């Protein structure tokens, strides 16, 4: 490996490692909440699961919008614009609070919509209980993501990991206290799970804010100064970039919701096998998810500094390393599928035998599925680092819903491949996205390089804006 590539890979992994751990911690929190619902009753699990799915879809869109904070701050950081990075972080916090208010109002008034979609009234009532206090988590949850983007953009992801792990432990302890009614407290059931999530999410945001306010690494960024007067231009810039990112997240989540609906029409065995296999795949997906975020930060920093060659190198290194990591997971799925599935299901119970057999078959498909999903996720992050989210949205929309979903339906029902056919359709859609986005990243960088070369070769061109000269010299030197 070339020396520059090794240097970039080390920088990428230093940033990505804590982010991957943070992603896993968040997933563990969701798993803890699900297990706590199951301890209450099957009805609580069904209704709480419906509420959790509704909350997840809304919050994932909001998280996608908030991803613009880290991207734009990394670009300002690369350009040496400290005040601009602080203004964007302030605007990110205001955007988080506005999104939290809108999302909470939607979730608190969701029952009529769920009934309209044919959900059982008992499940809707239980979902409403779960959503009674859960939306109070959104201000802290989205604020944490805004501050996470800022901290990651300046190369400090370790505090995010520490606070996320602390939040996971606190979530587990408080769930036991509120659900079981320890220390004289009443048993709060589903409402208690929502309350715990709200306490933990806001606590994590306050913890990260306290760290940023106290640590000298952030002293140069005047985030508290002028926080009550957000920049409207920064808000607009965040919204323009964040909206298509949120849209991309939504169409991808929608694809997997479509797959679950297909499984539900086949029967409980297919749906159960799908959920188990998807849970295993989701754990592995945390690796490219963290890498994608780190790739965005690295490319944004190089792009802001005007060093397109370094930006291209960061993207190539990230995509190549992510592909290699996911190939290792693919080998694990091929060779250890049965052992992985029986971590979730009792192999000694004959009732689970058909579910285990089908889940093992799905993991064989997941070997390809996960490889493509990892590459396309990191390629998306690379393109966003170049301040382009529209491309990722269009590619995702076409590959997921024009290619992936129809193919999944055709293979499952027209060609009678059942659950395996659904997963092959998902794999095809993700493969299309992986190839298209990787090529789109290369095309985007080459186009920007040609534009920069033309600008530098034009002696009578307009004067560059203030602060652009260092970036020009660096691009020319490369």
Instruction: Quickly state the pLDDT bin for 465 (edges 50, 70, 90).
Output: very low
Is 453's pLDDT higher than 70? yes
pLDDT of residue 126: 79
Task: Name the one residue in this structure whose structure tokens are 């009532």.
Answer: 125
φ and ψ of 275, to 5 deg: -65, -40
Across the range 244-260, mean pLDDT stands at 90
Is 142's pLDDT higher than 70? yes
Is 47's pLDDT higher than 70? no
Least confident of 36-45, 93-102, 268-277, 359-368: 36-45
Is 266's pLDDT higher than 60? yes
Across the range 395-409, mean pLDDT stands at 95
Least confident of 42-56, 259-273, 452-466: 452-466
Please choose, from the candidates 314, 471, 447, the residue with its C-alpha nearest in 3D space to the C-alpha of residue 382.
Answer: 314
pLDDT of residue 226: 86
Instruction: Quickly state the pLDDT bin for 474 (edges 50, 70, 90).
Output: very low
pLDDT of residue 460: 54
pLDDT of residue 454: 86
C-alpha span between 275 and 261 (Å, rounded): 12
C-alpha span between 240 and 264 (Å, rounded): 37
The per-residue b/e assignment along 309-342, b for 16 or more CB within 10 angstroms, e otherwise, is: ebbbbbbbbbbebbbebbeebbebbeeebeebbb
Across the range 336-365, mean pLDDT stands at 84
Question: Rounded to whole angstroms, what are the CA distances from 258 to 272, 366, 370, 403, 432?
Answer: 15, 17, 18, 13, 18
Q: Kindly state the tokens that stand for 382.
A: 């690379």
Is 18's pLDDT higher than 60? yes
Give Cβ neighbours of residue 441 (< 8 Å, ≥ 6 apart). Answer: 315, 319, 379, 382, 383, 386
Is 468's pLDDT higher than 70? no
Across the range 361-382, mean pLDDT stands at 91
C-alpha span between 77 and 301 (Å, rounded): 6
Query: Model-level pTM?
Result: 0.86
Which of 2-16, 72-86, 166-180, 450-464: highest mean pLDDT?
72-86
Is 220's pLDDT higher than 80? yes
Handedness of CA 275, 281, 283, 289 (dihedral sign): negative
Whether 26 and 197 have beta carbons less than 8 Å apart is answered as no
Mean pLDDT of the chain: 87
pLDDT tens for 431-445 read 999 999 999 999 999
């Amino acid at each position: 490996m070339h020396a520059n590539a090794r240097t970039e890979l080390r920088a990428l992994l230093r940033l990505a490692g804590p982010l991957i751990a943070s992603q896993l911690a968040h997933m563990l929190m969701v798993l803890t909440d699900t297990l706590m619902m199951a301890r209450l009753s099957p009805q609580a699990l069904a209704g709480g699961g419906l509420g959790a799915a509704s909350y997840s879809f809304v919050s994932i869109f909001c998280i996608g919008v908030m991803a613009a904070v880290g991207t734009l701050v990394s670009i300002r950081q690369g350009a040496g614009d400290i005040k601009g990075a602080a203004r964007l972080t302030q605007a990110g916090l205001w955007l988080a609070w506005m999104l939290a208010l809108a999302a909470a109002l939607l979730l608190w008034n969701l029952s009529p919509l769920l009934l309209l979609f044919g959900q059982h009234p008992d499940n809707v009532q239980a979902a409403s209980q779960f959503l009674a206090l859960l939306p109070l988590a959104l201000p802290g949850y989205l604020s944490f993501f805004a501050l996470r983007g800022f901290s990651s953009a300046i190369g400090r992801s370790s505090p995010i990991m520490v606070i996320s792990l602390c939040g996971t432990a606190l979530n587990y302890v408080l769930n036991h206290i509120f659900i079981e009614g320890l220390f004289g407290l009443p048993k709060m059931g589903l409402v208690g799970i929502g309350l715990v999530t709200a306490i933990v999410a806001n606590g994590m945001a306050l913890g990260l804010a306290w760290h940023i306010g106290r640590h000298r690494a952030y002293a140069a960024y005047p985030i508290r100064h002028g926080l009550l007067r957000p920049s409207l231009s920064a808000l607009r810039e965040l919204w323009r970039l964040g909206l298509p990112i949120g849209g991309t997240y939504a169409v991808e989540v929608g694809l997997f919701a479509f797959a679950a609906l297909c499984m539900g029409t086949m029967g409980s065995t297919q749906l159960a096998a799908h959920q188990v296999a998807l849970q295993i795949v989701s754990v592995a997906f945390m690796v490219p998810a963290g890498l994608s975020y780190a790739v965005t930060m690295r490319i944004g920093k190089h792009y802001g500094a005007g060093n397109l060659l370094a930006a291209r190198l960061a993207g190539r290194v990230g995509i190549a390393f992510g592909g290699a990591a996911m190939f290792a997971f693919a080998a694990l799925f091929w060779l250890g599928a049965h052992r992985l599935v029986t971590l979730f299901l009792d192999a000694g119970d004959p009732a689970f035998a058909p579910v285990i057999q089908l889940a093992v078959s799905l993991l064989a498909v997941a070997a390809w599925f996960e490889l493509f999903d990892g590459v396309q996720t990191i390629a998306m992050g690379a393109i966003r680092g170049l301040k382009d989210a529209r491309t990722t949205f269009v590619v995702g929309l076409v590959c997921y819903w024009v290619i992936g979903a129809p193919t999944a339906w055709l293979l499952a029902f027209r060609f009678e491949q059942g659950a395996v056919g659904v997963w092959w359709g998902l794999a095809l859609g993700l493969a299309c996205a992986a190839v298209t986005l990787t090529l789109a990243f290369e095309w985007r960088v080459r186009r920007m390089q040609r534009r920069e070369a033309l600008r530098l070769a034009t002696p009578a061109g307009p004067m560059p804006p203030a602060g652009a000269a260092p970036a020009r010299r660096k691009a020319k030197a490369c």
